[in-house]
Amino acid sequence: MLKVVKIETYHGRIRVLNNVSLDVEKGEIVTIIGANGAGKTTLLSTIAGIHKPRSGQVYLGTVQTSCMPVQDVVKAGISLVPEHREVFDSLSITDNLKLGAYHRYKTDKKSIDEDIENILSLFPALRGREDQLAGTLSGGEQQMLAIGRGLMAKPKVLLLDEPSLGLAPLVVKEIFDILVSLKKRGTTILMVEQNAKAALKVADRAYIIERGQISLAGRARDMLQDARVQSAYLGARLHA
Amino acid sequence: MSLSSELLQYLLSGLTMGGIYALVALGFVIIHNVTGIINFAQGEFVMLGAMFMVTLVNAGVPAAGALVIAVILVMIVVGLIEIGAIRTARKASPITLIIITIGLSTAIKGIALLVWGTNPYKLEPFTKGGPIHIGGATIVPQSLWVIGTTVLVLALTFFIFEYTYWGKALRACVVNKFAARLMGINPQRMSLLAFVFSAALAALAGIVIAPITYVTYDMGLMLGLKGFVAAVLGGLSSTPGAVIGGLALGIIESMGAGLLSSGYKDGIAFIILLLVLFLKPGGIFGTSGTKRV
């Protein structure tokens, strides 16, 4: 479904991504884990069209999206829920969700109210507060709103950048439970996380990124058991 | 004339000019919020509106129709300017774009000089009739048109930003430009929309003020600068701030001119600008530069 082929992305003269390839199948949750500054966010931004790769391609199905401007990438079916959530804080919950459907507003106006209803049933915490300003929500609620807003675009692949950032453990669990239920509904998810344990528990497959390169790829279940992964990302000590 | 009726007189004429400043300031704020550019050609859009109106009326078009056509013409001209001069330079820094708008302002003024010459044009007031007396002060009917139009336009602007999808998309750009891009909102289209909308506001301001001030090719400079002062007064990013800034500037100016000397009228606006920039750079209604994370 989503295929990233030998991407190289630069910030000015610094090469942030070096020969990164990965793929995500329909209906999968794939996670990318890595330390701060490894290039996770840049990778998602490149897929979403915010950064243009200097070489390499991104394909969604058979469509090459890496040469498109952001708004066309969104239209093609890739929706990014950014790091720090970035909700429209002085707009209401409903307006945030409506703006999520911006690219299909002209063509698909009628179904938008119905879709908002669906999102609210997915995130009951937001229901009944539709007119509340997004900036007044708690961190977890803002994350739910950001995910809901991303889903309003009806993406083929949903990209999530650090959905657990700055959230209490219980809230993290709630968010990840929702991701699992999204997967059951057929949503394809590519997620970047520093909370490796939580991410590997819900993911089907995982990639580990180190200094801009994919250093390890495999099934999430296997990675949870992998000694190197455990010592580097899961906080376990190696017993020498 | 007693002092109180004198003050009322200054208040009324202040409100009239203040309404115009508010419309111009609103244009500054909308463009600045959406694009980060301070559009110093805003005053020229005011002049274009007035010039098109005078030309159409002199050509025999009835006033109401001329007003609509003049506003649409200015919107088209400004739309073309945005596509031709701003969009082609969109990768440049805001400061470069601001300098481009200064260049545009000079260019538009130059073209206006060639087309319309240096003579002032007179536009008949929208409605005939002598001055109206209100509690010792007098007001010309055209002032009521100015104030009425300002109120109507402000209400319309509020409605657009609060209740329409396009308005919300524009606000989304203002609140969080990055997230707006992620929603697939095209920043270029929003920039065009902001310019064309501001052009309509400016054109309307020029048209309703024309019967009071005469129309000249260089009327845009002062109105643009005053509008800018009003926008800064309101914090440069707040739409209610721009409106209050405009009205406040109009009233202070008129009071100053009346109570001190009319020679100080323009000076007062720039003293206010300097004071605001020195003492409260965020504008009197603006918050300080910090943002809660």
Residue B220 has a pLDDT of 93
Half-sphere exposure of B108 (CA within 13 A, CB side): 28
Write the residue in B171, B181, B182 that is nearest to A91 by C-beta.
Answer: B171
**What is the rounded average pLDDT of the residues A170-184?**
88
Q: Which of B183, B191, B237 to mutate to test the interface with A (most CBs of A within 10 A)?
A: B183
Write the residue in A69, A75, A99 that is nearest to B168 by C-beta.
Answer: A99
In chain B, domain spans: 3-279
pLDDT reading at B277 higher than 60 = yes
The verdict on domain B3-279 having CATH code 2.40.10 is no
Q: What ipTM describes this predicted complex?
A: 0.85
**What is the rounded average pLDDT of the residues A193-201?**
86
Write the residue in A88, A95, A105 that is nearest to B179 by C-beta.
Answer: A88
CA dist B247 and B20 (Å) reads: 8
Contact A88 B172 (CB under 8 A): yes
* pTM to 2 decimal places: 0.84
Write the residue in B165, B176, B184 that is nearest to A153 by C-beta.
Answer: B184
Question: Tokens standing for A71?
Answer: 């708004």
Residues of B in contact with A102 (CB under 8 A): 169, 183-185
Shortest Cα distance, chain A CAs vs residue B86, angstroms: 19
Q: Which residue has the higher pLDDT, B79 or B5?
A: B79
Shortest Cα distance, chain A CAs vs residue B288, angstroms: 17
Contact B182 A82 (CB under 8 A): yes
CA dist A231 and A216 (Å) reads: 14
**What is the rounded average pLDDT of the residues B164-176?**
87
Residue A216 has a pLDDT of 86
Residue B77 has a pLDDT of 96
Shortest Cα distance, chain B CAs vs residue A98, angstroms: 8
Half-sphere exposure of A119 (CA within 13 A, CB side): 28
Q: How confident is the model at residue B29 (pLDDT cuts 50, 70, 90)?
A: very high
pLDDT tens for each residue of A152-170: 988 999 999 998 888 888 8
Q: Of B273, B278, B285, B261, which is closest to residue B225 (Cα–Cα)?
A: B273
Contact A199, A191 (CB under 8 A): yes
pLDDT reading at A240 higher than 50 = no
pLDDT tens for each residue of A39-79: 889 999 999 989 899 999 999 988 989 889 888 999 999 99
Residue with the two structure tokens 């911006």: A102
Q: Side chain identity at B6, as an amino acid letter? A: E
**Angle formed at CA A57 by CA A52 and CA A59, multiple of 5 degrees:** 110
Question: Tokens standing for B118?
Answer: 């240096």
Task: Give CA separation, B26 vs A123, B125, B158, B176, B217, in Å.
Answer: 38, 24, 11, 20, 22
Residue A237 has a pLDDT of 57
Contact B176 A48 (CB under 8 A): no
Shortest Cα distance, chain A CAs vs residue B140, angstroms: 41
Question: Closest chain A residue to B171 measured between Cα atoms?
Answer: A91
Contact A79, A160 (CB under 8 A): no
Q: What's the gap between Cα A84 and its chain centre?
A: 12
User: Given phi > 0 = left and psi -120 to 50 = alpha, else beta, which region is A27?
Assistant: left
pLDDT reading at B221 higher than 80 = yes
